[in-house]
A and B are shown apart, each in its own frame.
Chain A
Amino acid sequence: MKPEEKKPEVWTWFDHPQNIKRLRIGFYILLALLVLPDFFIHKHTLFSSIEAIPGFYALFGFISCVVIILISKLLGFVLKKKEDYYDR
């Protein structure tokens, strides 16, 4: 296909279960570290005092995404069609 056809180098780091496990643990630690400072700083609010609770944006992001995914899933039952839908 290409003139300089040669075997590409193959990386497999993400194929090892222990690496995935490390990533997951790192991710959870990161999540905890991100919420931690909220307990110690004074938070500004824009519209409501609810925004001042620690981890508000964490909760906001999580719930938003869960809601978006669930709504998409529901709409998917109506909107998703087989790939040849328009070709039939």
Chain B
Amino acid sequence: MIASLHPSLLFFIGALLLWVLPLLGRRILILLVPAAAFLIITQLEPGTYLSYQMFDFDLNLLRVDKLSKIFGYVFTINAFACFLFAQHLKTRYEHTASLAYIGAALGAVFASDLISLYLFWEVMAITSTFLILARRTERSYAAAFRYVMVHIFGGLTLLAGILLQINATGSVAFDGFTLQGLPTYLILIGFLINAAAPPISAWLADAYPEATVTGGVIMTAYTTKTAVYTLIRGFAGWEILIVVGCFMAIYGIIYAILENDMRRILAYSIMNQVGFMICGIGIGTAMALNGAMAHAFAHIIYKALLWMSAGSVLYLTGKSKCTDLGGLYKTMPLTMIFGTIGALAISSFPFLSGYTTKPMIIEAGVHEGYFWVWLILEIASAGVFLHAGIKFPYFVFFAKDNGLRPGEPPKHMLLAMAFLSFICIFIGVYPQPLYDLLPYPVDFHAYTFEHTLNQFQLLMFSALAFFMLLPLLKRTRTISLDTDWFYRMGGRLFINGCDKVFNGINSFGDRIFMQELPKALAHFAKDPAASVQKHGARLLAEASGDDEHLARRLAEADHRTQFSAYPIGIGVILAIIALGIMSLFYFLL
């Protein structure tokens, strides 16, 4: 029976139950749900279950293999830690969004066909938006709006790709894609948007730092790593991903160095780390894919730990800019230690989790003879230590003391951070249990003397560079322009442009056709004969240069029309001229 119980179901039921339970019940429930889901996943046997029919296709909600299981494990472990961290929240709203979001992420990971995947994909986009909205600030509302727009765009790209793919192959199966063409490219773009791959990457650093304290912690794990999972499943060995991954690894570092907001620094380091994973997926060998999965596992844990330490600081001080923080080790030493463990783990410091996972990807690239991949990923490894390993703890907990004396966060937050720190150290010291979860046999030894020494050299001399160039890294009260500029300022320019062009045409038309032309016509029509004569008199005066008789002629014209004192002959001549013109038209044309 348990073999076909879907772990997502617990999260969705939990999200509903939240609305009938009292506070204590809710606090227990949010811990119970991920724990139970974890247990269920351990009991799942490989195979596909829970089939249903839609649009005449046989769909399966639950595909169990080592790839889906490892993501299931880390998603539920991380969910447990996140909800432990979020125990202080009394509102139902945020927990509901979180549970539904994590449930949808699990659903996407276990879905065995493109249609089920797409449905969960969209639920994730919508539920996660509420974690940004829950901050209830003007900035967060705007960021949430941009976030959901980007994800709707990504979702529609994915949907278009899926529909074309089904049309082309007649199959809804979600396995490794082999055909290169518009359908698979669209699916790839849809996945890459959720993985925060440039150029549509800025949504991550734009939205996550505007989320609530706990929402930020939860969001870091699921959207991008679900995308990593789908890329492993669908696009392993697509070489374009190597380029994308290398670019992301460097891009994340440079922006993280420019940033002032601590949670934005961590957001950019997500892109950097996901870059490593995507690079591994592009390499596509058994070792590279193992590395990408193991690194995703380790990354989710230490990233949540980092966001928790930053979240504690934000929760207690209400500040998140490096220029406002500093010197916090004085009253939050435990938070500082946990944050530093996360920072060292992300830098793949020996004896912490990053070190037993990330080098697998680099070594896989070396085995394939990719010199440039090795070079860029090693540079990026040094850069990670720079921006996340030292910069984050240094500017938040040390550096200039801004006089903040907040004290340690509540016990449940410390407990959650201690739990994740333990996992970081455990995987770093004894990675074998993690390696056993990987789909392919692992032939990788992190702890050779030479390799460990090389890594220590790389990191410590990066630290030297950091402290030597510290004046260049001084924090400034600035933001950095990213590709969201194009839809933030671009949108504004578009609206301003439309405003200028179309409203310009409108007011021009209004002035000419509604005001001046009728006025001129009315003036002319008031006394058309006099107007024509006066105009003729003026032209005559101008041509002959003789103004002497002008005033008299004008007065005469007025006099004639006023009293209708025209000789009859003039009317006859005008009639003949008009007839002449008409006959010309008639005979010639």
Residue ranges of A at the interface with B (Cβ–Cβ < 8 Å): 2, 6, 8-12, 14-15, 27, 30-31, 34-35, 37-38, 41, 43-44, 46-47, 55-62, 64-73, 75-76, 78-83, 85-86
Within the complex, what minimum Cβ distance (angstroms) separates B472 from chain A?
5
User: How far apart are the CA atoms of A69 and B401 in the complex, in Å?
Assistant: 24
B469 and A69 contacting across the interface, CB-CB below 8 Å: yes
**Which of B24-32, B109-117, B457-465 lines the interface with chain A?**
B457-465
| In the complex, chain A residues whose CB is within 8 Å of the CB of B489 | 86
Chain B residues near A43 (CB-CB < 8 A) = 450
A14 touches B329 (CB 8 A): yes
- In the complex, the chain B residue whose C-beta lies closest to that of A9 is B331
B residues less than 8 Å from A79 (CB atoms): 258, 480-482
Q: CB within 8 Å of A: which of B248-272? A: 253-254, 257-258
The answer to whether B258 touches A61, judged by C-beta atoms less than 8 angstroms apart, is no
> Any chain A CB within 8 A of the CB of B473?
yes
**Among B333, B398, B405, B457, which residue has its beta carbon within 8 angstroms of that of A58?**
B457
Question: Is B476 positioned at the interface, with any CB of A under 8 Å from its CB?
Answer: yes
Q: Which of A43, A55, A56, A64 has the largest number of chain B CB atoms within 10 A? A: A64
A86 and B464 contacting across the interface, CB-CB below 8 Å = no
* Alpha-carbon distance A86/B128, docked complex (angstroms): 24
Q: How far is A26 from B89 in the complex, measured between Cα atoms in Å?
A: 44
Say yes or no for B439: interface residue by CB 8 A criterion: no
- The 10 A-B pairs with the shortest beta carbon distances in the complex, nearest first, are A8-B407, A65-B465, A61-B458, A58-B457, A57-B457, A62-B461, A61-B461, A64-B382, A8-B331, A72-B257
Having A11-B329, A14-B398, one finds 13 other A-B pairs with CB under 8 Å, namely: A6-B407, A14-B329, A27-B460, A34-B456, A44-B450, A46-B374, A61-B460, A67-B379, A69-B386, A72-B253, A75-B258, A78-B481, A79-B481
A31 close to B383 (CB less than 8 A): no
Complexed CA–CA distance, A35 and B237 (Å): 37
Beyond A57-B454, A61-B458, A86-B489, is A10–B379 a contact (Cβ under 8 Å)?
no
Closest to B254 in A: A72
B445 contacts A by Cβ under 8 Å: no
Smallest CB separation, A26 vs chain B (Å): 12
CB pair A61 B257 closer than 8 Å = no
**In the complex, how many angstroms separate the beta carbon of B156 from the nearest chain A beta carbon?**
26
**Given A31-B461, A75-B258, are A80 and B408 neighbors across the interface (CB < 8 Å)?**
no
Closest approach, in angstroms, between the C-beta of A52 and any C-beta of chain B?
Answer: 11
Do the beta carbons of A47 and B371 come within 8 Å of each other?
Answer: yes
Q: A2 vs B407: C-alpha distance in the bound complex, in angstroms?
A: 11
User: What are the residues of chain A within 8 A of B466 when measuring CB–CB?
Assistant: 65, 69
Determine the chain A residues whose CB is within 8 A of the CB of B254 once the complex forms: 68, 71-72, 75
User: Nearest A residue to B260 by beta-carbon distance?
Assistant: A83
| Cβ A11 vs Cβ B465 within 8 A | no
Some 28 contacts from A to B, beta carbons below 8 A apart, are A8-B332, A8-B405, A10-B330, A27-B464, A30-B460, A34-B457, A34-B460, A43-B450, A47-B374, A56-B454, A57-B454, A58-B458, A58-B460, A60-B382, A62-B465, A64-B382, A65-B469, A66-B469, A68-B386, A69-B469, A69-B472, A71-B254, A76-B258, A79-B480, A80-B258, A81-B478, A81-B480, A83-B479
* A11: chain B residues within 8 A (beta carbon): 329-331, 333
B 207-228 to A, binary, CB cutoff 8 A, 1 in contact else 0? 0000000000000000000000
A71 to B, closest residue via Cβ: B254
A63's nearest neighbour on chain B, judged by CB, is: B465
Check if B406 is an interface residue, CB within 8 A of chain A. yes
Instruction: Compute how far the CA of A71 lies from the CA of B408 in the bound complex, rounded to whole angstroms.
Output: 37
Query: Once the chains bind, are B453 and A37 in contact (CB under 8 Å)?
Result: yes
